[in-house]
Structure 1
Amino acid sequence: MESFRFSMPTQIIFGKDTERQTGAETAKIGKRVLFHYGSGSIRKSGLYDRVVESLKSAGVEYVELGGVQPNPRLSLVQEGIRLCREQKLDAVLAVGGGSVIDSAKAIAVGVPYTGDVWDFYTGKAVPSQIIPVGVVLTIPAAGSEASKSSVISREEGNFKLALDIDLIKPAFAIMNPELTYTLPPYQTACGAADIMAHIMERYFTNVKNVELTDRLCEATLKTVIRNVPIVLRDPANYDARAEIMWAGTVAHNDLLSTGRVGDWASHMLEHEISALYDVAHGAGLAVVFPAWMKYTYKHDVQRFVQFAVRVWGVEENFADPEETALEGIRRLEQFLSGIGLPVRMEELPVPTDRLEEMAERAVAKGSIGSFLPLAKSEAASIYKLAVKA
């Protein structure tokens, strides 16, 4: 196990009707806030009205900025920064899923900065200040409600880059599983793939003697695997929704990272797919991750055997460990396909004539991944594995 520091500054307020506490929690971080949200589904569900009522009751003034899209855009982040400065807003309230929260984090870190906020995403600068961010979560998937990550897409050049720094962890996250009842099945499934990918990025590590976090990763994966089919059959099953929502937070708040070094190559590979073709991140991960596994499993067959046996219940073939490992990958693909997700490029659908270009973009800053570092040729091979059966 590696040495580590772990901090969980985000206060979690979890349970039924907790969105009615939005105003009281927001008042602790700001008196004039940017109310940031997505396409308007929060209006249809009535959540918008409940949040507004709560803010007004707490004496919190707000300026609205909606319109966040999946794969949140830099242009809207820049508009949010402008609004915060002009209106002298002192916090950002994100009401939505990972895209809204990532956009809110980018706005919050950009407000005190005199340069271009994109500098933080390219690595040209490191943020040292932020205005506080609060969250009302509506989609369990990205885990952004308690993570140190924000991923933003720049329209010019179709680039999608991440900022990872503890500074941007939200001050609070309000999480009511009831708010996820109306999620379409495909969005629920994409969220599940995103959660599972966050866990698997951490699970496949070269660090030895990480038994506790191995078991935590496996338990969180099995919780998602068990409960997603339940909510697809019964969307208003509170208990199953609650399990998935909490799993999404635990998957990406870095608890599962303690003492180990994650990989993250699959995320880097997927970012090129969603940057160029604007596909749902979870759907892209459902295609990329099994392909990455097929390419890398021989690097540590026993870890893949452990994954197959402990997570998927595969009976271990002691005479042929590779067969056990491959069966675990097959069962992952079967699960993802079974909940309605693509597992091949053509199912996204994404054209396959730019695989070499995507590989070059993915490794533009150098090799990616730590489990088995990948250069351009390896990245291209994984993309090709994502095309064929």
Structure 2
Amino acid sequence: MNSFTFYNPTQLVFGKDSIEKLPQMIAQFTQGKKIMLTYGGGSIKKSGLYDRIMTLLSDFEVTEFGGIEPNPRLSTVTKAVEVVKEKGIDFILAVGGGSVIDGTKLISAASKLDNDPWDIVTRKVTPEEGVPFGTILTISATGSEMNSGSVITNWETNEKLGWGSPLVFPKFSLLNPEILYTLPKNQTVNGIVDSMSHLLEQYFNEADNSAIGDAMIAGVMKEIMKAGEVALKEPENYEARETLMLGATVALNGFMRMGYNGDWATHNIEHAVSAVHDIAHGAGLAILFPAWMTYVSDKSPERFAKFAEDVFDVDSSLSQQEKVDAGINGIRDYWTSIGAPAHLSDFEITEDDFETFADKTLFNGPFGNFYQLDKEAVMAIYQLAK
């Protein structure tokens, strides 16, 4: 394994009574009374969660900022930063899924600078402080509730880039699995794909020895897959929602990548697609990850064979290639079985876009830690996914 330092300061408050602890959690991080409430399209109002939160925040002066998009846009974040500065906001509460939380992370950091928020994303400037913020999670998918990463879309330039800073770990995240009961099916499916993709990105890593990580990743992935099938049939099955919620969190809070970085090429490939076509991140990953696996598998067949053994318990008597195929088909078939898309053409994306996508992925040159991809490789993966 590579040498590493593990750090994660986010307080995770998990369970049916977690949201009721909101006032005392905020009080740990600010004595101020000016709160900004960030959220997405308004589903929190339909579900009753908004009223519940506002009751808990009755002693605070709350400024609402809704409308953060599923792929959070720079223009929206920039407007929120202006409000934070104008109102002198003391604390931000992000209520939503990964997109709301990702957007809030940039709001937090950019509100302490005079620069364009995009300068933070493109690493032209490094933030040195941020407005403290916490989260109430409504979608289990990205793990953003317990990490320091964020992905922002610049719709004007069709760029979708990831960035991160130790300053933007949430101070706390409140997770109540009951909130997931009312999720639309497609959001549950996308969340399952997203969390599994994070595990896949880390399983295929650059380390010579990742035995502990392999075991943890395989175990979590198996439980997510089982719970996913149950939750889609029984949306109010608490145990299944509990497993999906915690599974998505630990999939990307650093626990699974101690001693290596993981690959992350598929995320880069997907970001180029959703930056142009604005499709859901999980949907894009469901299409592109099996294509990446197919393309890369012959470069390291022993790793892919081990994946099939670890996750799908394939018969040890199978040949190496049979194991490789079983692992790739296992992922593709599972995602298809739960209703995830399988082809770029499902979204009317054609080969005409592939070169544009590929050029966007290569803005910093070849990429991928497990296996480096150049333009020819990226184009081939898009072809496999068409």
Instruction: State the TM-score bracket (shorter-chain normalisation).
Output: over 0.9
Q: State the alpha-carbon separation in 1 of the partners of residues 206 and 302 from structure 2.
A: 11
Query: Does the residue aligned with 1:163 lie in a helix, a strand or coil?
Result: strand
Question: Match for residue 379 of structure 1?
Answer: 378
Question: Match for residue 286 of structure 1?
Answer: 286
Contact 1:272–1:358, Cα closer than 8 Å, also in 2: yes
Question: Match for residue 149 of structure 2?
Answer: 149
Question: Match for residue 131 of structure 2?
Answer: 131
Question: Match for residue 42 of structure 2?
Answer: 40
Q: State the alpha-carbon separation in 2 of the partners of residues 262 and 328 from structure 1.
A: 18
Query: Does the residue aligned with 1:354 lie in a helix, a strand or coil?
Result: helix
Question: Match for residue 314 of structure 1?
Answer: 314
Question: Match for residue 52 of structure 1?
Answer: 54
Q: Cα distance, 1:317 vs. partner?
A: 4.3
Query: Does the residue aligned with 1:368 lie in a helix, a strand or coil?
Result: coil
Contact 2:13–2:172, Cα closer than 8 Å, also in 1: yes
- Which blocks of at least 5 consecutive residues in structure 1 are unaligned? none
Q: Describe the superposition over 1:153-209 as per-residue Cα deviations: whole angstroms up to 9, x where unpaired.
A: 112111111112222110000000000000011110000000001111111012122
Contact 2:206–2:263, Cα closer than 8 Å, also in 1: no
After TM superposition, the structure 1 = structure 2 runs for residues 10-159 of structure 1, keeping only pairs within 5 Å, are: 10-30=10-30, 31=32, 32-56=34-58, 59-159=59-159
Query: Does the residue aligned with 2:63 lie in a helix, a strand or coil?
Result: strand
Query: Does the residue aligned with 1:218 lie in a helix, a strand or coil?
Result: helix
2:278 partner amino acid = D
- The alignment status of 1:363 with 2:362, answered yes or no, reads yes
Q: Describe the superposition over 1:45-76 as per-residue Cα deviations: whole angstroms up to 9, x where unpaired.
A: 110011111111xx222211001110011111
Query: Does the residue aligned with 2:199 lie in a helix, a strand or coil?
Result: helix
Q: State the alpha-carbon separation in 2 of the partners of residues 365 and 317 from structure 1.
A: 43
Q: Describe the superposition over 1:192-248 as per-residue Cα deviations: whole angstroms up to 9, x where unpaired.
A: 000001111111012122211110011111111111010000000001100010001
Percent of paired sites with the same residue: 40
Contact 2:130–2:168, Cα closer than 8 Å, also in 1: yes
Question: Match for residue 339 of structure 2?
Answer: 340
Query: Does the residue aligned with 1:136 lie in a helix, a strand or coil?
Result: strand
Contact 1:190–1:341, Cα closer than 8 Å, also in 2: yes
Q: State the alpha-carbon separation in 1 of the partners of residues 140 and 38 from structure 2.
A: 18
Contact 1:152–1:162, Cα closer than 8 Å, also in 2: yes
After TM superposition, the structure 1 = structure 2 runs for residues 272-283 of structure 1, keeping only pairs within 5 Å, are: 272-283=272-283
Question: Match for residue 197 of structure 1?
Answer: 197
After TM superposition, the structure 1 = structure 2 runs for residues 157-172 of structure 1, keeping only pairs within 5 Å, are: 157-172=157-172
Q: State the alpha-carbon separation in 2 of the partners of residues 178 and 6 from structure 1.
A: 31
Q: State the alpha-carbon separation in 2 of the partners of residues 134 and 75 from structure 1.
A: 22
Q: State the alpha-carbon separation in 2 of the partners of residues 339 and 206 from structure 1.
A: 31
Contact 2:270–2:281, Cα closer than 8 Å, also in 1: yes
Q: State the alpha-carbon separation in 2 of the partners of residues 173 and 82 from structure 1.
A: 25
2:146 partner amino acid = A
Contact 1:305–1:316, Cα closer than 8 Å, also in 2: no
Aligned residue pairs total 384
Contact 1:16–1:177, Cα closer than 8 Å, also in 2: yes
1:86 partner amino acid = E
Q: Describe the superposition over 1:251-285 as per-residue Cα deviations: whole angstroms up to 9, x where unpaired.
A: 01011010112110000000011111010000000
- The alignment status of 1:212 with 2:212, answered yes or no, reads yes
Q: State the alpha-carbon separation in 2 of the partners of residues 260 and 301 from structure 1.
A: 20
- The alignment status of 1:236 with 2:259, answered yes or no, reads no
Q: State the alpha-carbon separation in 2 of the partners of residues 198 and 233 from structure 1.
A: 24
Q: State the alpha-carbon separation in 1 of the partners of residues 252 and 149 from structure 2.
A: 9
Q: State the alpha-carbon separation in 1 of the partners of residues 5 and 165 from structure 2.
A: 13
1:111 partner amino acid = S
Q: State the alpha-carbon separation in 1 of the partners of residues 261 and 28 from structure 2.
A: 35
Q: State the alpha-carbon separation in 1 of the partners of residues 5 and 172 from structure 2.
A: 20
Question: Match for residue 222 of structure 2?
Answer: 222
Q: Which moved more, 1:160-169 or 1:216-225?
A: 160-169
Query: Does the residue aligned with 1:353 lie in a helix, a strand or coil?
Result: helix
Q: Cα distance, 1:128 vs. partner?
A: 1.7
Contact 1:317–1:324, Cα closer than 8 Å, also in 2: no
Query: Does the residue aligned with 2:35 lie in a helix, a strand or coil?
Result: strand
Q: Cα distance, 1:77 vs. partner?
A: 0.5
Q: Describe the superposition over 1:273-302 as per-residue Cα deviations: whole angstroms up to 9, x where unpaired.
A: 111101000000001100000111122211
2:139 partner amino acid = I
2:49 partner amino acid = L
Query: Scaled by the length of structure 2, what TM-score is found?
Result: 0.97
Contact 1:23–1:60, Cα closer than 8 Å, also in 2: no
- Which blocks of at least 5 consecutive residues in structure 2 are unaligned? none
